[in-house]
Amino acid sequence: MEKNPVYLDYNASAPIRPDVADLMRTLMAKPGNASSIHSFGREARHHVEGAREQIAKLADTHANYVTFTSGATEANNAVLKHFSGRRVLVSAIEHPSVLESAPQAEKIPVTRDGVIDIEKLEELLSGEVPALVSVMLVNNETGVIQPVEEVARLARQRCPGVHIHTDAAQAAGKIPFAFAALGVDYLSLSAHKMSGPQGVGALLCAPGAEPVPFLHGGGQEKRQRAGTENVAGIAGFGLAADIALNHLDSFAQLSRWRDDLEKTLREAAPEITIFGQDAARVANTSKIGLPGIPANTQLMNLDIEGIAVSSGSACSSGTIKPSHVLQAMGAPEHLCSHALRISAGWATKESDFKRLAEVWLKMYSRVANKIVRL
């Protein structure tokens, strides 16, 4: 009998919550541009503004600071491109939507555990005053939580006038955070990483921060982001944020199954490396390197058995390049393209982890004798 498929690639895209899909279906069936004055338009506006409140609540901030975008990629592009031509510092482990929007940026190194290196940051801050510092709140490949509050405090102490950005796409719905307490000016969010729809996100902008208008045309989103609002998507995002906020405790429970999996694999295969294991991580993510077997071979072996995991960020996994995150962590070159990312979420069951362990161990026993021990 066919085994049930197992989806453990939530950091690439989390399955949408059924209540979110239901709400979106209802709203998609209704006409109305949120800028129109008639009753249909007013109803659409009501859903957009309700969602703005829900997103603000997730980040413990004011709805006024929330601008809807097409996702975290757009939010990151808006901020990083706004500061082009000025001195910018970004962590070496940022998502490509940050790194490629700021090719001139200087990289802040990370430690072997995948946490930003505060001493190296201090050295970089002692040079010319940067206009922007961008450090993500949670890394998408390892799940390692970054000390963004400390980064912001240090940067402001040393460099008055500096702007701070954090990409919180992989933090939202996984750990609690407050926009003001982080001390940042800009914060990027993505709906589909927290079980909302794909193609929607937000940029939070603190009062006093330089505005970073990105798309020009209509006057939507207080002239910060032109274009007719995606009403169903935005409403779905709002509901997903609300549900995620109410389920932070159950999300935290995922670490038990994740830690059991890591223990099981390590006992059978002591040569594996679990990246960021000694750092604070979000509960759902595990990045496991197995020397000798390229990540795409591992992925295909698991896929044949109906198990979906990833080699890292979905954006670059079509072509399995060595992971820039693992390289920045100083991982040996042979491991940088030999690691799998397992990421769970709201619909994951303990049996999913057990099945992954079973299939992974079967794969390992087939190839173990061929592994070149380096």
Interaction site with ligand PMP (CB under 6 A): 71-73, 76, 95, 97, 136, 140, 167, 169-170, 190, 201, 313-315
**Closest chain position to ligand PMP (CB):** 71
205 catalytic? Reply is no
From 9, 14, 75, 7, select the one nearest 197 (Cα to Cα): 14
Least separation, in Å, of the C-beta of 54 and ligand PMP?
17
Distance CA 370, CA 365 (A): 10
Cα(216)–Cα(224) distance, integer angstroms: 8
Least distance to ligand PMP, CB of residue 67, Å: 14
Q: How far is the CB of 83 from ligand PMP (least distance, A)?
A: 17
CB of 33 to ligand PMP, least distance (A): 23
Report the residue number, 138 or 363, with the smaller CB distance to ligand PMP: 138
Choose, from 159, 205, 315, 336, the residue flagged as catalytic.
315
Encoded amino acid at 322, one letter? P
Nearer to ligand PMP, 56 or 72 (CB): 72
Nearest residue to 175 (alpha-carbon basis) of 153, 141, 143, 134 = 143
Measured from the CB atom, the residue of 168 and 336 that comes closer to ligand PMP is 168
Q: Which is nearer to ligand PMP, 190 or 230 (CB)?
A: 190
**Closest approach of ligand PMP to the CB of residue 227, in Å:** 16
Beta bridge partners of 215: 225
Q: How far is the CB of 59 from ligand PMP (least distance, A)?
A: 16
The residue to which tokens 């197995």 are assigned: 290
In sequence order, the 6+-apart residues with CB closer than 8 A to the CB of 314 are 9, 11, 12, 13
Phi, psi of 330 (to 5 degrees): 80, 20
Cα-trace Rg, the chain: 21
| CB of residue 165 to ligand PMP, shortest distance in Å | 12
In whole angstroms, give the CA distance from residue 50 to residue 40: 16
Residue (of 54, 65, 69, 79) closest to 207 by Cα position: 65
Identity of the residue, 341 or 355, whose beta carbon is nearer to ligand PMP in the bound complex: 341
Specify the residue, 72 or 356, whose C-beta has the smaller distance to ligand PMP. Answer: 72
Of 97 and 195, nearer to ligand PMP (C-beta) is 97
Closest CA to 228 of 33, 29, 30: 33
Per-residue b or e along 75-111, where b marks 16 or more CB atoms closer than 10 Å to that residue's CB: bbbbbbebbeeebbbbbbbbbebbbebbeebebbbbb
Instruction: Tokens for 227, please give them.
Output: 């274009």
Quote the CA–CA distance of 45 and 301 in Å, as a whole number: 48
List, by residue number, the catalytic residues: 315
